[in-house]
């Protein structure tokens, strides 16, 4: 641990909601403590700790290969972390430890929804079907686990509710007219937004978006910003965001975590991260060093020593 | 494609054409010389080798002529093709109708049906090239004009595919009406004039395969789990049924029961056993997908068959279990009292009704039983598609990882698909046992799985009516054309190749949404717009 810690985290024993970190206000929704993921000899994530708060947009940024998507895969149960604790704290409920849960339970019970870097819709199903499938667990109970539904008792009303929920989200993303078209007939930007709508249909408390703005043009990016701000403000959930597009990150994030080579190099509000020399170095390279003040240079060389030892 | 093909008027690549014709001849020769050329015949006291090189030569000649027509059509010589094909068709038809025995040696094949098919093929070529000829005369008038002119030959197959797409979309949309008409036709079928026992038997067989196809459609078409061992569940159902229904079964003899259990009790039991077998297979293969899953299911199918063959104390191995009674009706037996001692004290349905025993009546009963069972399978599938579990199956087929991220339990979802698919296989197996009155491991070979899968694939994954059409094509037609003997398998293979070339996604491949927001009319209008 030679790298300087810019933000103190609560100890690894208890989840302590009152510990301030500069942008206090929301309750800590997700607490990631000492998350480490090794694939054989490769350390993809090395002792990363951060928090995502309720009703806030937390962005995870970093150069390619920094381990951002691996963090997501650990959070949503696609990988089992080698070390670490992932605590989801909901009001009035016992904390859920995501590292112990199976993937589909994280989505169904802990209510963490996610989207994917390469869009994963159900391409040959319609938009409406995509959104109704997302409400599977609720509808499954309503259909009496198929037995009752097979004979059509009392299931129609629940299905109607699910359709209304789908209609609401289709309205938010402006695709109601295309509700009955196949998902793969949509243009790329619409598919991205449909995936977000589908994730929202699971009624999550934490929405994890893996590069939602990738491949979008400026107008579509602006739409996306509006949609995410809307979700945060109106639906009052936490959003965790991986993004390369700085126009999205800087405009809408409340809090940014920067990863490089699997380690956290910066953590704070957008203004802080924007001026953090470690971040500038990670993104722009070493040339900047000459213009930096002495304190920062020392800081960086210390960082280098730590960074070089971490991988492999 | 159009760019590489020289059109009429341009220099013709003679060498290429010769190579093409020679290649065709060689392939046909290589295929037919072993399949058709050497025929092993049963004669009294042994077998003899029958050499039929004339047939091989005819097949090669026909292939060359047909390929030649295709080449000519490709180069735009429709007139030549139309004239020669029409001439061939006319000669064949006239000699078949009026030639009598005199011309028979001069015709290519011995079987008359083959010659008729040849005549139909030539007539088809004549009509096809005539249509093309007519179309070429007015190329500019038909809308698109010059841009399409050059690519006309390339565009034609696309047009056909689009036509078939429209047909299948229409069929799926009007499935309710078509289904109702088909149901009425099926219900009336046994009482139609001219329907004899043979046709009724074929109909029962076709319906059995329709039911199996519908059952497998749940696993393959909806859940997208490629299952090459479906016959295993058919076998489990048949044996579970036979073991309790037949008075000869070793199990009942061990239990000391002298009478078999009623069809209507054994049927749900057999379905349950098959469903359990399905879940048992499902567990180990949960992580497998695609090819790997197919291989394991194939192995499972063989395991069941080999087990049945060797578990002699329970299944009587290769001897099989015989004496399985037909379904009872309202508590009465429907068997005739022949030499069965065990039946002495039962009352038969025909006696109770005061009818004479007639084998056809039993077959009609079987027909309605399988019809009801197949319809129940269909009802289940249609209904379950609109339920969350059915949508989850389809979502699983589309993207398993996305399913997990939405909180769908992939384990349970896959197991229910395997279980339900297997259950209907088990029901069909019970029916098979009661119809055949005898089960042995020989009936449950891999080829059965392959045929059932072929029905599902040809019909179009997930298409209920497609399965009906494919079952008619693959089971009904070969039975009707039994006269053709081994040639029918050649046609079977040939037509499967053709269908796969023409419609690789299956005959009626069109997915109708399970739920709509805007109703059908809205969709039709947006569909035609875009």
What's the per-residue H, E or C state across B51-102? Answer: ECHHHHHHHHHHHHHHHHHHHHHHCCCHHHHHHHHHHHHHHHHHHHHHCHHH
Residue B276: predicted pLDDT: 93
**Alpha helices, DSSP H, located in B174-285:** 175-188, 197-217, 231-245, 250-255, 263-282
B383 touches chain A (CB under 8 A): yes
- The residue of chain A nearest to residue B398, with distances taken between CA atoms, is A122
- Contact predicate B237/B219, CB 8 Å: no
Per-residue pLDDT band at B106 (split at 50, 70, 90): low
Phi-psi category of residue B44: left, alpha or beta, with phi > 0 → left and psi -120 to 50 → alpha: beta
Residue B104: predicted pLDDT: 63
User: Is residue B91 a part of any domain in this protein?
Assistant: yes
Residue B163 has pLDDT above 90, yes or no: no
CA distance B469 to B458: 9
Determine the straight-line distance between the first and last CA of chain B, rounded to whole angstroms: 26
Tokens coding A154: 């009392």
Residue B167 has pLDDT above 80, yes or no: no
| Residue scoring higher pLDDT (B109 or B419) | B419
Residue B427: predicted pLDDT: 93
CA distance A117 to A268: 24
Q: What is the mean pLDDT of chain B?
A: 78
Query: In CATH, what number does A1-111+245-312 get?
Result: 3.40.50.300
Q: From chain B, pick out residues whose CB is under 8 angstroms from the CB of A98.
A: none
Tell me phi and psi for residue A164, to 5 degrees.
Answer: -65, -40
In a shared domain, residues B111 and B16: yes
| Residue scoring higher pLDDT (A242 or B514) | A242
What residue numbers bound the domain in which B501 lies?
173-332+356-515
Question: Which residues on adjacent β-strands are paired with residue A259?
Answer: A264
Q: What one-character-per-residue DSSP string does A95-123 give?
A: PEEGGGS-HHHHHHTS-EEE--SS----T
**B185 sits in which H/E element:** helix B175-188
How many domains does one find in chain B?
Answer: 2
Residue of B243, B435, B232 lying closest to B321 (CA atoms): B243
In three-state secondary structure terms, B127 is helix
CA distance B294 to B439: 26
B281 touches chain A (CB under 8 A): no
Least confident of A265-269, B43-47, B281-285: B43-47
Report the percent of chain B where pLDDT is more than 90: 10
Per DSSP bridges, beta strands B46-51 and B38-43 are antiparallel
Tokens coding A203: 């009624």
B398 touches chain A (CB under 8 A): yes
User: Is residue B327 a part of any domain in this protein?
Assistant: yes
Read off the CATH number of the domain in which B260 is found.
1.10.3470
B513 touches chain A (CB under 8 A): yes
Residue B147: predicted pLDDT: 42
Residue B171: predicted pLDDT: 75
- The residue of chain B nearest to residue A148, with distances taken between CA atoms, is B387
Residue B234: predicted pLDDT: 92
CA distance B401 to B190: 49
In a shared domain, residues B111 and B195: no
Question: Which positions 156-175 of A are in contact with B (Cβ < 8 Å)?
Answer: 159, 163, 166-167, 170
**CA-CA-CA-CA dihedral for B413, B416, B421, B426, to nearest 10:** 160
Residue B238: predicted pLDDT: 92
| Residue scoring higher pLDDT (B155 or B175) | B175
- Contact predicate B32/B114, CB 8 Å: no
* pLDDT tens column, B187-239: 877 777 777 777 888 888 899 999 999 999 988 888 888 888 899 999 999 99
Q: From chain A, pick out residues whose CB is under 8 angstroms from the CB of B409.
A: 104, 108
A132 touches chain B (CB under 8 A): yes
Residue B33: predicted pLDDT: 79
User: Is residue B200 a part of any domain in this protein?
Assistant: yes
* pLDDT tens column, B310-326: 988 888 888 888 888 77
Residue B423: predicted pLDDT: 93
CA distance A43 to A45: 6
Angle CA(B281)–CA(B283)–CA(B284) in degrees, nearest 5? 80
User: Is residue B340 a part of any domain in this protein?
Assistant: no
In a shared domain, residues B458 and B318: yes
B388:A146 CB<8 A: yes
In a shared domain, residues B132 and B13: yes
A204 touches chain B (CB under 8 A): no
* pLDDT tens column, B374-384: 889 988 888 88
In a shared domain, residues B183 and B325: yes
User: Is residue B484 a part of any domain in this protein?
Assistant: yes
In a shared domain, residues B233 and B370: yes
Residue B470 has pLDDT above 80, yes or no: yes
Tokens coding B39: 């025929």
In a shared domain, residues B177 and B121: no
* pLDDT tens column, B1-37: 444 444 444 556 788 888 888 888 888 888 887 777 7
Residue B460: predicted pLDDT: 78
Per-residue pLDDT band at B153 (split at 50, 70, 90): very low
Residue B520: predicted pLDDT: 63
In a shared domain, residues B131 and B183: no
In a shared domain, residues B225 and B300: yes
User: Is residue B157 a part of any domain in this protein?
Assistant: no
Block residue for tokens 């070979």? B445
- Contact predicate B468/B250, CB 8 Å: no
Q: From chain B, pick out residues whose CB is under 8 angstroms from the CB of A129.
A: 391, 394, 513-515
B389:A180 CB<8 A: no
Give the residue ranges of chain A where pLDDT is below 70. 1-27, 144, 146-149, 152-154, 286-312
CB atoms within 10 A of CB A177: 13
Residue A46: predicted pLDDT: 87
Tell me phi and psi for residue A206, to 5 degrees.
Answer: -135, 125
Per DSSP bridges, beta strands A96-97 and A83-88 are antiparallel
In a shared domain, residues B118 and B192: no
Residue B120 has pLDDT above 80, yes or no: yes
Task: Name the residue among A120, A142, A150 with its Cβ closest to that of B402.
Answer: A120
Q: What angle, rounded to 10 degrees, do the helices at B359-385 and B410-436 form?
A: 170
Residue B29: predicted pLDDT: 86
How close, in Å, is residue A94 to chain B by CA atoms?
20
B52 touches chain A (CB under 8 A): no
Taking residues B433-444, report their average pLDDT: 88
User: Is residue B46 a part of any domain in this protein?
Assistant: yes
In a shared domain, residues B184 and B71: no
């Amino acid at each position: 641990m030679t790298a300087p810690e810019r933000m103190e985290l609560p100890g690894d024993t208890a989840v302590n909601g009152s510990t301030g970190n500069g942008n206090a206000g929301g309750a800590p929704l997700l607490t990631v403590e000492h998350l480490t993921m090794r694939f054989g000899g490769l350390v993809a994530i090395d002792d990363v700790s951060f928090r995502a708060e309720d009703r806030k947009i937390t962005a995870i940024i970093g150069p390619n290969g920094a381990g951002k998507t691996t963090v997501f895969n650990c959070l949503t149960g696609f990988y089992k972390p080698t070390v670490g604790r992932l605590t989801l704290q909901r009001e009035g409920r016992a904390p859920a430890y995501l590292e112990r849960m199976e993937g589909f339970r994280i989505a169904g019970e802990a209510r963490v929804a996610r989207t994917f870097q390469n869009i994963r819709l159900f391409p040959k199903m319609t938009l409406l079907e995509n959104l109704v499938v997302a409400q599977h667990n609720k509808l499954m109970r309503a259909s009496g686990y198929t037995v009752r539904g097979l004979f059509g008792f009392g299931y129609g009303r629940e299905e109607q509710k699910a359709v209304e929920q789908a209609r609401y989200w289709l309205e938010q993303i402006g695709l109601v007219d295309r509700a009955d078209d196949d998902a793969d007939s949509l243009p790329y930007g619409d598919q991205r937004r449909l995936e977000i709508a589908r994730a929202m249909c699971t009624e999550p408390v934490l929405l994890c978006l893996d590069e939602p703005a990738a491949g979008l043009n400026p107008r579509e990016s602006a739409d996306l910003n509006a949609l995410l701000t809307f979700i945060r403000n109106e639906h009052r959930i936490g959003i965790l965001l991986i993004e390369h597009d700085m126009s999205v990150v800087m405009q809408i994030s409340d809090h940014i975590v920067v990863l490089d080579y699997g380690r956290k190099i910066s953590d704070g509000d957008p203004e802080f991260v924007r001026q953090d020399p470690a971040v500038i170095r990670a993104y722009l390279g070493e040339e900047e060093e000459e213009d930096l003040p002495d304190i920062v240079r020392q800081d960086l060389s210390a960082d280098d020593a730590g960074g070089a030892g971490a991988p492999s | 494609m159009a760019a590489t093909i020289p059109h009429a008027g341009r220099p013709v690549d003679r060498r290429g054409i010769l190579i093409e014709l020679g290649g065709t001849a060689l392939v046909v020769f290589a295929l037919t010389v072993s399949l058709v050329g050497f025929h092993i015949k049963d004669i009294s006291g042994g077998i003899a080798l029958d050499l039929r090189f004339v047939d091989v030569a005819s097949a090669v000649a026909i292939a060359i002529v047909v390929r030649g027509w295709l080449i000519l059509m490709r180069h735009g010589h429709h007139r030549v093709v139309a004239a020669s094909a029409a001439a061939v068709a006319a000669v064949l038809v006239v000699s078949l109708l009026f030639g009598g025995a005199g011309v028979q040696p001069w015709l290519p094949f011995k079987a008359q049906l083959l010659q008729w098919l040849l005549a139909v093929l030539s007539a088809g070529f004549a009509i096809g090239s005539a249509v093309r000829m007519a179309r070429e005369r007015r190329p500019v008038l038909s809308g698109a004009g010059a841009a399409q002119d050059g690519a006309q030959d390339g565009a034609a197959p696309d047009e056909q595919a689009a036509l078939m797409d429209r047909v299948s979309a229409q069929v799926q949309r009007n499935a309710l009406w078509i289904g109702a008409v088909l149901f009425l036709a099926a219900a009336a079928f046994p009482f139609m004039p001219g329907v004899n026992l043979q046709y009724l038997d074929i109909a029962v067989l076709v319906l059995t395969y329709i039911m199996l196809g519908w059952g497998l459609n749940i696993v393959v078409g909806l859940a997208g789990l490629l299952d090459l061992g479906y016959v295993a569940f058919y076998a489990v159902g048949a044996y579970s049924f036979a073991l309790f229904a037949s008075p000869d079964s070793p199990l009942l003899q061990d239990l000391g029961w002298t009478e078999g259990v009623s069809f209507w009790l054994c049927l749900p039991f057999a379905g349950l056993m098959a469903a359990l077998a399905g879940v048992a297979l499902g567990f180990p293969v949960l992580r497998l997908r695609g090819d790997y899953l197919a291989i394991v299911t194939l192995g499972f199918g063989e395991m069941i068959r080999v087990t049945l063959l060797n578990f002699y104390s329970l299944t009587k191995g290769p001897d099989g279990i015989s004496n399985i009674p037909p379904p009872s009706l309202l508590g009465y037996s429907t068997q005739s009292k022949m030499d069965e001692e065990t039946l002495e004290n039962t009352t038969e349905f025909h006696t109770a009704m005061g009818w004479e025993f007639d084998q056809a009546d039993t077959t009609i009963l079987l027909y309605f039983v399988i019809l009801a069972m197949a319809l129940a399978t269909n009802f289940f599938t249609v209904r379950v598609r609109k339920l969350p579990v059915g949508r989850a199956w389809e979502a699983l087929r589309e993207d398993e990882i996305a399913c997990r991220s939405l909180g769908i339990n992939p384990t349970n979802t896959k197991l229910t698909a395997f279980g339900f698919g297997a259950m209907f296989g088990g029901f069909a197996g019970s029916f098979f046992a009661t119809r055949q009155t005898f089960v042995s491991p020989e009936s449950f070979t891999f080829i059965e799985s392959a045929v059932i899968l072929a029905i599902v694939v040809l019909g179009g994954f997930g298409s209920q009516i497609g399965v009906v059409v494919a079952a008619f094509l693959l089971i009904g037609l070969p039975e009707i054309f039994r006269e053709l003997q081994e040639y029918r398998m050649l046609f079977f293979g040939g037509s499967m190749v053709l269908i796969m070339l023409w419609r690789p996604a299956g005959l009626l491949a069109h997915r109708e949404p399970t739920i709509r927001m805007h109703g059908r009319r809205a969709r039709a209008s947006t569909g035609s717009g875009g």
